[in-house]
Amino acid sequence: MHKLVLALVSWLLISLPFNSYASTADVVPSLINHWLGYTSILVFVCAYLFVILEEKLHLRKSKPVMLSAGIIWILIAIVYGNQGFSHQVESAIRHNFLEYAELFFFLLVAMTYINAMLERGVFEDLRNRLVAAGFSFKALFWLTGFLAFFISPIADNLTTALIMCAVVLAVGKDRPKFVGLACINIVVAANAGGAFSPFGDITTLMVWQKGIVEFSEFFVLFAPAVVNFVVPAAIMQFALPEGTPKGAKLRADVLKPGGLTIVALFLLTIVTAVSFHSFLHIPPVFGMMLGLGYLKLYAYCLSQKCKKWEIHTDNPPAGNANPYQFDVFKKIAGSEWDTLFFFYGVILSVGGLGFIGYLASISSFMYGELGATQANILVGVLSALIDNIPVMFAVLTMNPEMSHMQWLLVTLTAGVGGSMLSIGSAAGVALMGQARGYYTFFGHLKWTPVIALGYGLSIWVHFLLNSPN
């Protein structure tokens, strides 16, 4: 645990928006050896220890880091204010909050659409079709893997992993070995699929919103991502049980009216966000907010059909709810608020640590002494121990001078490196809860060398295909 904490501190100290301090770094004194610096580090490390122990303490991860953010910036305001730097403090915290606000509203819209599709039965209908098809264990292993790989670039890797896990649990509860292997495969596939799309993972979204990699440029990572998923899967398939799973009882007619229309509106929202960024040079979050307007307008159309259904259905069957009943504000309320506020705490807490002056020394070591390639590969390894979101923040805040190919490399490694451990990604953590007893930390750890092989080969393929001639 102490090694994990040391690695955590090293990287999270530099997890802040880099350009927010570009204008103040030369006029604000570094206080890394001041009591303010030591106290701020202690506050943040304590907060992140509570995050690590979330499952044991049953304390939501957003609470300690939000408290940490407040304490750190209060101390900064007092100490720097007494030295005459109140304006710089205000400017820095406003910029940090703006960075967070863009991420917040972007994710809020995406989460609302996913919640709407879940409520309309879109994903449950997909699951039922797969279960009813009568595939063998090996066929389901590959099918759920490929679906996770191709759905995660749109629906995000966490949601995709949960959907595919529901499929394997529905058909393989009596075969624990199949469920465990299939869950490992789903985690690897979902993380790999999320690495070649801005919508597949928070890390790729941050890179895209920063304008470092354009939307179309992410797709050059497709081949390395395929290798990252296929190589471990090809080896793990030999450990799968033979035969075909028993049929499972499933509810019929789970797809509610408007489900497919909402899928189409979500795709239109993605196109809108990309167009805003590419053609109008407007931050993509504004395109996402326009997309939320699409959903709100369609929710009104469903409400009108809901009223007509109630008028023309005098005696509906007992237990039959109105299929057109749809409240878009409930879908907004159902977003992952703990996750959204966790991002606030991390960005503001580490932003404060960066303002104090810890950024320069660590960034010079990572990209100065180790070099870009070694540092970017290490990013992926650290992502298996630490959540990849603060790790990617670290790279973006350092903003090291490196080639475009190296920026693509770190986008790849931060996205897929977390697959090496079950705790290395949101998908893995979620599946340990959903498939409790089937998919475990040590069950995943057994296959870590195989997953690491896929990680290494994906990097090699990236250099092979995407290195400048």
Rounded (5°) CA angle 441-227-148: 60
Q: Note whether 222 and 453 are within 8 A (CB).
A: no
For residue 55, pLDDT beyond 90? no
Q: How far apart are CA 419 and CA 413, in angstroms?
A: 10
Percent of the chain with pLDDT over 90: 33
Please state the rounded mean pLDDT for residues 87-111. Answer: 88
d(CA 113, CA 343): 20
Q: Which of 69-78, 153-162, 223-232 has the lowest mean pLDDT?
A: 153-162
SS3 category, 258: coil
What CA dihedral angle connects 251, 253, 259 and 261, to 10 degrees?
A: 150
What's the pLDDT score for residue 314? 61
The pTM of the whole model exceeds 0.85: no
What's at 371, amino acid-wise?
A: G
C-alpha span between 407 and 214 (Å, rounded):
11
pLDDT at 80: 93
Average pLDDT over residues 234-262: 82
Residue 54 tokens, joined: 């979330």
Name, in order, each residue with C-beta under 8 angstroms of 188's C-beta and a sequence gap of 6 or more: 145, 228, 229, 232, 233, 416, 419, 451, 454
Average pLDDT over residues 434-461: 91
At 222, the pLDDT band (50, 70, 90 cuts) reads very high
The 10s digit of each residue's pLDDT in 408-437 is 999 999 999 989 988 778 788 778 777 878
* Average predicted confidence (pLDDT) for the chain: 83
Is residue 188 over pLDDT 90?
yes
pLDDT one-digit tens code per residue, 303-349:
888 888 877 766 555 455 778 888 888 888 887 788 788 888 888 88
Mean pLDDT within 351-355 = 84
Give the model confidence (pLDDT) of 7-44 as tens digits.
Answer: 434 444 433 333 334 334 446 888 888 899 899 999 98
Q: What pLDDT, on the 0 to 100 scale, is given for residue 315? A: 56
Residue type, 134: G
Residues 93-106 have a mean pLDDT of: 87
* Residue 251: predicted pLDDT: 66
